[in-house]
Amino acid sequence: MNHPTSILITNIGELVTHDPELGTFAGAALVVDGGTVAWIGPTAQAPAADEAFDAEGRAVIPGFVDSHSHLVFAGDRAGEFQARMAGESYGAGGIRTTAAATRAAPDDELAAGVARHVAEMRRQGTTTVEIKSGYGLTVDDEARSLRIARGFTDETTFLGAHVVPPEYADDPAGYVELVTGPMLAAAAPYARWIDVFCETGAFEVDQARAILRAGEAAGLGGRLHANQLGPGPGVQLAAELGLVAVDHCTHLTDDDVHALRDAGTVATLLPGVEFSTRQPYPDARRLIDAGVTVALASDCNPGSCFTSSLPFCIALAVREMGMTPAEAVWAATAGGARALGRTDVGVLTPGNRADLVLLDAPSHVHLAYRPGVPLVARTWTASSA
């Protein structure tokens, strides 16, 4: 919902700002003016505004910043999920199934799918979303995936290096040349970021390094999928290249953890994946205690994790990954913002975007305490996600 005029929200039972000075406090009020946070303070001292809204003691938190999703796809893989729940293991090969369906789908079908899932995210409190390509795997299909994603967000990521498509099965080096050459040239105008799935069965570390360097030369910021299915060199590569974020981080050595801390690279944890693949969860506590910045994101995709819900991810992170509710909410808001190199979202402070969530609950703790319950009463956003 857009707010051309000023609005005063009063009687906020708990306002979670993530601003180091304002912190989290009761009895708060907040003024939104022209889509920006204009004032925060006690309800008793609130200034006048064009409109008023009484929060009736409920909690307000920053809108969720989902820094990792794959929403441009056709079809689903419910059968694969069913097989996993019967004992099969997850493998990257299913990406090719979705790529075949995506290539065959017209633009309007792909765009309608993105619109549906972005709306689903919004209903669950997400106000900023990153969207990757990666189910096209041809020059034209990657470019059109990103063009469609750009209709919904500026946080678009070129993931031509998701897997090697079947037509290059005998020539993976040729596919890397395609990705770093004509595919990157066609994708770059629609992308802010470049990503690689660096994992056994997808791309080797040297291929990932070459792809990220080519992306950087084309003006894109680097990010990485790494250490999801097993230990590997991807996290160290992210640290070596000083990437803003590396995602999954499920299997980490002590050296990996130290490298992330020293590089200041955000570890984006995606607990919906471990839920949906029945794998052990990443150890958020170990990362936080070591001084690594942790973000939580959905990884919404039709294969490894088909949830769009950050409240669900927060509940998993608290129950299974050793995070406190406050840490998990921070990771899904301010942490996601850090993972996207953003300071204008994820933190409620005067001058920032007025992307807020009103919870049907008195505190942020209820997001983990009441899992599966739709607690997002409404959102306010500066503009579309």
Residues at the contact surface with ligand NIG, assessed by CB under 6 A = 70, 94-95, 98, 197, 225, 228, 273, 299, 301-304
Residue 301 marked as a ligand binder:
yes
Residue 299 marked as a ligand binder:
yes
Q: Cβ of residue 351: shortest distance to ligand NIG, in angstroms?
A: 34
Q: Are 235 and 248 in contact (CB under 8 A)?
A: no
Residue 236 marked as a ligand binder:
no
Q: What is the DSSP letter of 343?
A: S
When CB distances are held under 5 to 8 angstroms depending on the partner's kind, the choice from Fe ion, ligand NIG, none that residue 228 binds is ligand NIG
Q: Are 33 and 46 in contact (CB under 8 A)?
A: no
Nearest-Å Rg of the Cα atoms of the chain is: 20
Q: Pairing relation of β-strands 245-248 and 126-129?
A: unpaired
| Cross-strand partners of 158 | 194
When CB distances are held under 5 to 8 angstroms depending on the partner's kind, the choice from ligand NIG, Fe ion, none that residue 130 binds is none
Coarse DSSP helix, strand, coil percentages of the chain, rounded to the nearest 5 percent: 35, 20, 40
Q: Single out the residue of 130, 135, 68 nearest to residue 270, CA to CA.
A: 68
Residue 225 marked as a ligand binder:
yes
Q: Pairing relation of β-strands 36-42 and 28-33?
A: antiparallel
> Which sign, positive or negative, has the C-alpha torsion 22, 366, 12, 49?
positive
Residues found near Fe ion in the complex (CB under 5 A): 299
Q: Cβ of residue 127: shortest distance to ligand NIG, in angstroms?
A: 22
Q: Cβ of residue 188: shortest distance to ligand NIG, in angstroms?
A: 21
Task: Pick between residue 273 and residue 287 the one whose CB is nearest to ligand NIG.
Answer: 273
Q: Cβ of residue 207: shortest distance to ligand NIG, in angstroms?
A: 15
Q: Cβ of residue 371: shortest distance to Fe ion, in angstroms?
A: 23
Per the listing, tokens 């608290």 go with 318
Residue 3 marked as a ligand binder:
no
Q: Which residue is nearest to ligand NIG (CB)?
A: 303
Tokens of 4: 């051309």
When CB distances are held under 5 to 8 angstroms depending on the partner's kind, the choice from ligand NIG, Fe ion, none that residue 16 binds is none
When CB distances are held under 5 to 8 angstroms depending on the partner's kind, the choice from ligand NIG, Fe ion, none that residue 160 binds is none
When CB distances are held under 5 to 8 angstroms depending on the partner's kind, the choice from ligand NIG, Fe ion, none that residue 304 binds is ligand NIG
Nearest-10 crossing angle of helices 139-150, 107-123: 40
Residue 162 marked as a ligand binder:
yes
The rounded distance, in Å, linking the Cα atoms of 179 and 24 is 46
The rounded distance, in Å, linking the Cα atoms of 116 and 122 is 10
Q: Cβ of residue 234: shortest distance to ligand NIG, in angstroms?
A: 11
The rounded distance, in Å, linking the Cα atoms of 108 and 169 is 30
Say how far residue 200 (Cα) sits from the centre of its chain.
23
Residue 353 marked as a ligand binder:
no
Task: Pick between residue 301 and residue 307 the one whose CB is nearest to ligand NIG.
Answer: 301
Residue 230 marked as a ligand binder:
no
When CB distances are held under 5 to 8 angstroms depending on the partner's kind, the choice from Fe ion, ligand NIG, none that residue 94 binds is ligand NIG
Q: Cβ of residue 122: shortest distance to ligand NIG, in angstroms?
A: 21
**Strand intervals (E) in 162-231:** 193-198, 221-226
Strands across the sheet with 7-12, in order?
Answer: 36-42, 28-33, 7-12, 51-54
Residue 355 marked as a ligand binder:
no
Task: Pick between residue 228 and residue 352 the one whose CB is nearest to ligand NIG.
Answer: 228
> Which sign, positive or negative, has the C-alpha torsion 100, 158, 383, 129?
positive
Q: Cβ of residue 27: shortest distance to Fe ion, in angstroms?
A: 40
Task: Pick between residue 62 and residue 303 the one whose CB is nearest to ligand NIG.
Answer: 303
When CB distances are held under 5 to 8 angstroms depending on the partner's kind, the choice from Fe ion, ligand NIG, none that residue 145 binds is none
Residues annotated as binding site for 4-imidazolone-5-propanoate? 77, 135, 162, 228, 304
Residues annotated as binding site for Zn(2+)? 68, 70, 225, 299
Residues annotated as binding site for Fe(3+)? 68, 70, 225, 299
Residues annotated as binding site? 68, 70, 77, 135, 162, 225, 228, 299, 301, 303-304
